[in-house]
Amino acid sequence: MTSEAALLDGARGGDVDAFERLVRRHDDRMRALAYRMLGSRAAMDDALQDAYVKAFRSIAGFRGDARFSTWLHRIVATTCIDHVRRLQRRAEEELPDEPVPARGGLVDGSADVAVRRLDLRRALDHLDPDHRAALLLVDGEGLSYDEAGSVLGIPAGTVSSRLSRARATMRGLLDVREDDR
């Protein structure tokens, strides 16, 4: 197996195969992040294609100040944020905004899980893209505030405040009471 450093050297030199092998090592995590941010496979595929093209075009300038995975996370996250903003603009032009419906009692079994996932997806869709990115990177990907800040290009304190706002918004949208946690 070729080392990441060797693949990076090749990719910086324009070796498409080395770049593809490098990206393939991180593709599962990038797909998971993009899917959670965008909510559909089609949007995920579009955003990842754009992100990987951006990454290939700028790999020669990658200095290695951060890990490659952090650098790629940043490109994917910012590309997804851009896609979310475009999708929101289109949705605002086409349909009026509808709040997440409140639910009464829970349904038993797997239907409950499906309903909760749908509620979560709808609530995520209502978050500001920057807040959604912070929430998904920290709570979804398990990154520290510093790592998420590095991915997003913001200080850890800003990650903390965006995360706090995102969590508060999610609680409000999902009608989560303090005694339910």
Are residues 55 and 8 located together in one domain of the fold?
yes
Are residues 8 and 32 located together in one domain of the fold?
yes
**Average pLDDT of the residues in 112-139:** 81
CB 100 within 8 A of CB 64: no
Are residues 62 and 106 located together in one domain of the fold?
no
Note the pLDDT of residue 46: 95
Q: How confident is the model over 32-76, as pLDDT tens digits?
A: 999 988 888 999 999 999 999 999 999 999 988 888 999 999 999
Are residues 64 and 8 located together in one domain of the fold?
yes
Task: Show the 3-state SS of 70-117.
Answer: HHHHHHHHHHHHHHHHHHHHHHHHHCCCCCCCCCCCCCCCHHHHHHHH
CB 77 within 8 A of CB 132: no
State which residues form the domain around 150. 102-181
Are residues 5 and 70 located together in one domain of the fold?
yes
**Average pLDDT of the residues in 14-26:** 94
The span from the CA of 137 to the CA of 73, in Å, is 9
